[in-house]
Amino acid sequence: MTELQRMGYKIKDARLKKKLKQKDLAMFLGKSKSTISCYENGKKRISIDNLKKLCNLLELDISSI
């Protein structure tokens, strides 16, 4: 598992625990649902700014990602 895949797995896991959908994250970040899918599957790198926003929303410690 690559670093991007591990990060994506943690984002997806936190999203599901919050009972949010990919479209919810997409609207929050101003991205498409397919971009969120790429983040979660480790196919696309997320910017540090968007990662910080997601961590705040999902109540994740950025250093754990």
In b/e form, how buried is each residue of 29-53, taking b as 16+ CB within 10 angstroms?
bebeeebbbbbbebeeebeeebbeb
pLDDT given for residue 61 in this prediction: 95
pLDDT at position 40 over 90:
yes
Tokens 């598992």 belong to residue: 1
Contact 18, 58 (CB under 8 A): yes
pLDDT band at 62 (very low <50, low <70, confident <90, very high): very high
Q: Give tens-digit pLDDT for 7-28.
A: 999 999 999 999 999 999 999 9
pTM of the model: 0.92
Spelled out in words, what is the top-level CATH class assigned to the domain 3-59? mainly alpha
Average pLDDT over residues 17-43: 98
Structural domain boundaries of the chain? 3-59
